[in-house]
Structure 1
């Protein structure tokens, strides 16, 4: 649905990380769409954001700080692709029934990921929007930091970046320590972040950094909300 002011009504695919958060900021700043809700897949076994490993409570606080409803799509762990697609299709059908035909993503340059999203949404007559697409990721990373966005690395792939970076704040010092082969925004899966403050939030979320563990080849650091 497009509103009388010409803005399409959309939901935003929310990973809990910096790219999704900055996509929200950009869409609001440019007026490209009106975001009606955030949508996140949640591991129903461990009550954490799928892949990022972020606590569900912190996810809820992010949605509150963004001033938006949160649509949670529960998925099992491990999650076969068939079940993932089935549950996402059901969620999209509910969104479409509410008159929303656009989904915003924080993807940056992976063509195969974009093509997959566009193809899946086309099946239910919905359109994908990519407000950060094609931006220079080094410049974008620095722009995020300069905007006041605060994020920590919640998960890293130790085959691409040092395991010791897990739990670190996403800042200029961290960018300087990344290997030359690593994308500054972690778009190739080098790392995943969790955002706790920034221009997309009405208030900062206080957190403390918990333990770091290795699971299934990835290093996860628990970022714990302080309430």
Structure 2
């Protein structure tokens, strides 16, 4: 029997990651036996949207695939991040990994960055959701029985009332017309807590909701505001 390529998946903890991982597992062409997530070591949270590390670890345990965590400093430069990623990739290659998966859908510059970063290491990049229609993808996500809550919003696109809300067609119908259904332009991020890739749903409570303001490199006179919703595991 032909051996399947050893594959690690870049896990963000959100809906696109969950659906892309589901695709790879269902295809059965790859041995996906490792998840990789970047965590801000200062806050002990997922770098992209602030999910607590303990929740991330519980999520990976529910999926049943071992999790590797790439820790980055509070405010890493691109050079620092790339160096940490190179060290991680070198280690994974030494362990026999030849393929890596992502949940990206249509951001060309991000896909190009990933390929330019990883191809020199002999890694084949996999994008199961690439160029698929985002309206159809979110319908498929919900139709498969996946469940997710919104834990981060770009406040210029969605207001804070969406934080902590579970994704549903009813909620999607309330999105402004310029918001991508999958939030592929960074309009929102999610925490996926149930679905066909999970052994059991993750019990949790919605925690504090906060708005934070950040400098906008592309427009210094207009800061960017993001909303975050904390997630707490239910005990017992």
Corresponding residue for residue 166 of structure 2: 169
Name the SS of the counterpart of 2:176 in structure 1: coil
**Candidates 141, 155, 160, aligned match of 2:152:** 155
Show the counterpart of 2:230. Answer: 222
Q: Map 1:1-227 onto structure 2 (within 5 A).
A: 4-216=1-213, 217-227=225-235
The CA RMSD over aligned residues, in Å, is: 1.0
The list of structure 1 runs, each at least 4 consecutive aligned residues, that deviate by more than 3 angstroms after superposition, is none
Q: Distance in 1 between matches of 2:105 and 2:194?
A: 21
3-state SS in 2 of match to 1:21: helix
Q: Secondary structure of the equivalent of 1:223?
A: strand
Post-superposition offset of 1:6 = 5.0
TM-score (ref. length: structure 2): 0.92
Show structure 2 runs of 5+ residues with no match. Answer: 214-224
Query: What secondary structure does 1:211 align onto?
Result: strand
CA distance in 2 between partners of 1:105 and 1:5 (Å): 24
Residue 162 (structure 1) shift: 2.1
Q: Distance in 2 between matches of 1:190 and 1:27?
A: 26
Displacement of 1:28 in angstroms is 0.7
Q: Secondary structure at the match of 2:32?
A: strand
Q: Which runs of 5+ in 1 are unaligned?
A: none
Give the length in aligned residue pairs. Answer: 224
Alpha-carbon shift at residue 170 of structure 1 (Å): 1.2
